[in-house]
Structure 1
Amino acid sequence: MKLLLKTLLFIIFLTANSTLLFAHDTNETSHTIINGGIGIGSALAIVICWSRTESVLTSILAGIFGWLYVIYYLIVREKENG
Structure 2
Amino acid sequence: MNGSRYYGVRVEGAKYGIGFGSALAITISYSANHSILWAIIDGILGWLYVVYFALFRG
TM-score of the two chains, using structure 1 as the length reference:
0.47
Unaligned runs of 5+ in 2: 1-14
Deviation by residue 1:1-21 (Cα, 9 ceiling, x = unmatched): xxxxxxxxxxxxxxxxxxxxx
SS at match of 1:39: helix
**Relative contact order (alpha carbons < 8 A, sep ≥ 6): 1 or 2 greater?**
2
Q: Which has the larger radius of gyration?
A: 1
Please tell me the root mean square deviation across aligned C-alpha atoms, in Å. 1.7
Q: Of the candidates 44, 47, 51, which is equivalent to residue 24 of structure 2?
A: 44
Identity of aligned residues (%): 52
Q: What is the TM-score when the length of structure 2 is the normalising length?
A: 0.66
Aligned to 1:53: 33
Between Structure 1 and Structure 2, how many residues are aligned? 42
Structure 1: gaps (5+ residues): 1-34
Q: Which has the higher helix share?
A: 2
- The ranges of structure 1 where at least 4 consecutive aligned residues each deviate by more than 3 angstroms after the TM superposition are none
- Rounded to whole Å, the distance in 1 between the matches of 2:35 and 2:57 is 18
